[in-house]
C-alpha cells in the first residue's frame, strides 16, 4: 500500500455511526422484527442521531448498521455502488462485503426505487435453506400515499391496506410472483425517513389496480 | 493480509505501526500520565465509540505447526476523527475505554505533520523508555534464575 493510497483512505473520516451502538441497534432490530411480524404496519424509529452520507436515509442506514456485518454480503444499487462516501461509511461501520450480483446478497440496499432490478434476480433461498435469501431494504419517500394494495396472510388478522411511494411500475406484480414462491422468496423492508414497514414473502398481495 | 502485502508497507506505515504498538502495550496509567504531560485537548468527533469485544487468538505448535484456536482475548477499540478529518485508531487488550480513546487521539495527532515531533517527544518516547525498562527488568529477573544442566558425556 503506497503512502498516497494510505493517506487517501484515512484522510476523510466517515460520519459517526450509532451513538449508543447496543441500545440503538436493539431498538432498530425490534422495529424491523415487528415490521416483519405484522406486515404492512408502520414502525416508528425515533431518537436516532444518525448523520449518514447522502442519499442514505436515517432509517435505511439504521437498518444496515443493525443487520449487516462481515458475514452478510450486501448489494448496493448502481447509484450507491458508484458512491465512495457511502461505501466507505458502510464498510467502516459494518465490514459487510459488497457483492456485484444481487443473487449473492444477504441484504440489498436500494436508495432509488427506479434502480431496483427484477425481484426475481435476488436470492430466493433453496428448498433446503429457504433462509439463504435476500432481504431488500428499499428507501421510499413515504408510507401513506402511492399505489395501494391489500395484504393478507400470517401476522394480519383479516386484511391490511398498504401503500407506498414511489414504487417501480411492475413492482407489485413482481411481489405477487415472489409470494407464490413461498417458502422461498425475498423479504422487503420499506424505509422512509423515520419509519419502517415490511412485506415478508408470506404475505398475499391483492387489490392491484389493473 | 498476506505476507507479501505486509512487505510492501511504506516507511510511513511502518512508523505508524510502531507508534500504535507502543500505545497498545503501554499500561493505562503510563499513557494517562504522558497524555496529561501533553496538556493539549484536541477537538474531535468519536466515530466509533470505545467498545469491548473478543478476538480469537490463534497459535501454531512450535511456530510451524497447523494453526489452532488457542483462546479468546478481550480487546477494546475506538476510532475518532479530528477536525480536519484525520482518523485515529486505538485498540488494546483489556477493557479500558479511556486508554483506547487516548491511544486513538495520539494516533490521529501523530499523523498530523505539525504535531508529530511533539507526540514522539512527549508521549511515544517516554512510553517506549518505560517499556524498555520493564522488559530489561524482567529479562534480568529471568536471567538470575537461569540454571545450566550438565550431563556427563558417556564414553561410548
Under 8 Å between Cβ of A67 and A135: yes
Mean predicted confidence (pLDDT) in A74-83: 92
pLDDT for A128-186, tens place per residue? 999 999 999 999 988 887 778 899 999 999 989 888 888 877 888 899 999 999 899 99
Has residue A10 got a pLDDT over 80? no
Are the beta carbons of A210 and A158 closer than 8 angstroms?
Answer: no
Q: Are A9 and A159 in contact (CB under 8 A)?
A: no
B142–chain A nearest CA distance, Å: 40
pLDDT, mean over chain A:
87
Label the pairing between strands B67-82 and B44-60. Answer: antiparallel
What pLDDT is attached to residue B150?
A: 76
The band of A9, judged by pLDDT with boundaries at 50, 70 and 90, is very low
| A80 to chain B, closest Cα gap in Å | 21
pLDDT score of A5 more than 50: no
Tell how strand A107-110 and strand A135-139 pair up.
parallel
Put simply, the answer to whether A1 touches B12 (Cβ < 8 Å) is no
- Which of A3, A17, A21 has its CB closest to that of B12? A3
* DSSP three-state, residue A79: helix
A9 touching B (Cβ < 8 Å): no
pTM score of the predicted model: 0.81
pLDDT tens digits for range A90-121: 999 999 999 999 999 999 999 988 889 999 99
What is chain B's pLDDT, residue by residue, as a tens digit (156 residues)? 444 455 567 888 888 999 999 999 999 999 999 998 888 888 888 888 999 999 999 988 887 888 899 999 999 999 999 888 888 999 999 999 999 999 999 999 999 988 888 888 888 999 999 999 999 999 999 999 888 887 777 766
CA distance to partner chain B, nearest, from residue A141 (Å) = 28
CA angle A96, A26, B79 (to 5 degrees): 50
Strand partners, A199: A188
C-alpha cell at A178: 415472489
Beta bridge partners of B75: B53, B93
Q: Which residues contact A119 (CB under 8 A, 6 or more apart)?
A: A136, A171, A174, A175, A177, A178, A186
Rounded to whole angstroms, the Cα distance separating B107 from A155 reads 51
Closest residue in chain B to residue A3, using alpha carbons only: B10
Distance, CA of B120 to CA of B103 (rounded, Å)? 13
- What is the per-residue pLDDT for A4? 41
Indicate the pLDDT class of residue A209, thresholds 50, 70 and 90. Answer: low
- Report d(CA B100, CA B85) in Å as an integer: 19
pLDDT of A28 > 90? The answer is: yes
Confidence at residue A148, expressed as pLDDT on a 0 to 100 scale: 83
Residue B59 cell numbers, joined: 497459535
Query: Which among A96, A150, A92 is positioned nearest to B48, based on CA atoms?
Result: A92
Q: What pLDDT is attached to residue B156?
A: 60
Answer yes or no: is pLDDT of A7 > 70: no
> Residue B56 pairs with which residues in a beta bridge?
B72
Side-chain half-sphere CA neighbours of B92 within 13 A: 24
The grid coordinates listed for A119 are 425481484
Question: How far apart are the C-alpha atoms of A24 and B46, rounded to whole Å?
Answer: 16
Q: In chain B, which residues have their Cβ closer than 8 Å to the Cβ of A89?
A: none
Mutation pick from A3, A13, A92 vs chain B, by most beta carbons of B within 10 Å, is A13
Cβ atoms A59, A196 nearer than 8 A: yes
Buried/exposed code over A37-60 (b: 16+ C-beta within 10 A; e: otherwise)? ebbbbbbebeebebebbeebbbbb
Q: Does A8 touch chain B (CB under 8 A)?
A: no
Amino acid at each position: 500500500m503506497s503512502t498516497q493510497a494510505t493517506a487517501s483512505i484515512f484522510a476523510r473520516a466517515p460520519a459517526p455511526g450509532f451513538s449508543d451502538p447496543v441500545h440503538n441497534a436493539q431498538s432498530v432490530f425490534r422495529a424491523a422484527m415487528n415490521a416483519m411480524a405484522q406486515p404492512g404496519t408502520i414502525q416508528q424509529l425515533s431518537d436516532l442521531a444518525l448523520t449518514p452520507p447522502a442519499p442514505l436515509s436515517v432509517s435505511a442506514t439504521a437498518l444496515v448498521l443493525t443487520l449487516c456485518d462481515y458475514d452478510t454480503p450486501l448489494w448496493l444499487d448502481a447509484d450507491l455502488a458508484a458512491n465512495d462516501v457511502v461505501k466507505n461509511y458502510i464498510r467502516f461501520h459494518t465490514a459487510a462485503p459488497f457483492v456485484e450480483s444481487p443473487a449473492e446478497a444477504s441484504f440489498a440496499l436500494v436508495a432509488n426505487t427506479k434502480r431496483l432490478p427484477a425481484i426475481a434476480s435476488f436470492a430466493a433461498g433453496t428448498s433446503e435453506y429457504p433462509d439463504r435469501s435476500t432481504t431488500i431494504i428499499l428507501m421510499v419517500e413515504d408510507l401513506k400515499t402511492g399505489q395501494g394494495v391489500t395484504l393478507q396472510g400470517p401476522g394480519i388478522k383479516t386484511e391490511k391496506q398498504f401503500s407506498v411511494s414511489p414504487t417501480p411500475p411492475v413492482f407489485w406484480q413482481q411481489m405477487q410472483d415472489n409470494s407464490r414462491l413461498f417458502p422461498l422468496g425475498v423479504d422487503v423492508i420499506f424505509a422512509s425517513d423515520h419509519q419502517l414497514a415490511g412485506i415478508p414473502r408470506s404475505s398475499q398481495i391483492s387489490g392491484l389496480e389493473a | 493480509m498476506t505476507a507479501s502485502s505486509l512487505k510492501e508497507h511504506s516507511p510511513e506505515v511502518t512508523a505508524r505501526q510502531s507508534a500504535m504498538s507502543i500505545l497498545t502495550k503501554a499500561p493505562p496509567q503510563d499513557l494517562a500520565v504522558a497524555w496529561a504531560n501533553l496538556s493539549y485537548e484536541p477537538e474531535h468527533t468519536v466515530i466509533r465509540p470505545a467498545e469491548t469485544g473478543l478476538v480469537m487468538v490463534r497459535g501454531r505448535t512450535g511456530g510451524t505447526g497447523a494453526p489452532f484456536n488457542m483462546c479468546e482475548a478481550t480487546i477494546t477499540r475506538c476510532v475518532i476523527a479530528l477536525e480536519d478529518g484525520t482518523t485515529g485508531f486505538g485498540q488494546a487488550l483489556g477493557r479500558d475505554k479511556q486508554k483506547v480513546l487516548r491511544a486513538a487521539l495520539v494516533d490521529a495527532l501523530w499523523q498530523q505533520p505539525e504535531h508529530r515531533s511533539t507526540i514522539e517527544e512527549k508521549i511515544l518516547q517516554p512510553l517506549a523508555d518505560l517499556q524498555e525498562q520493564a522488559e530489561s527488568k524482567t529479562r534480568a529477573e529471568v536471567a538470575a534464575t537461569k540454571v545450566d544442566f550438565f550431563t556427563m558425556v558417556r564414553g561410548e
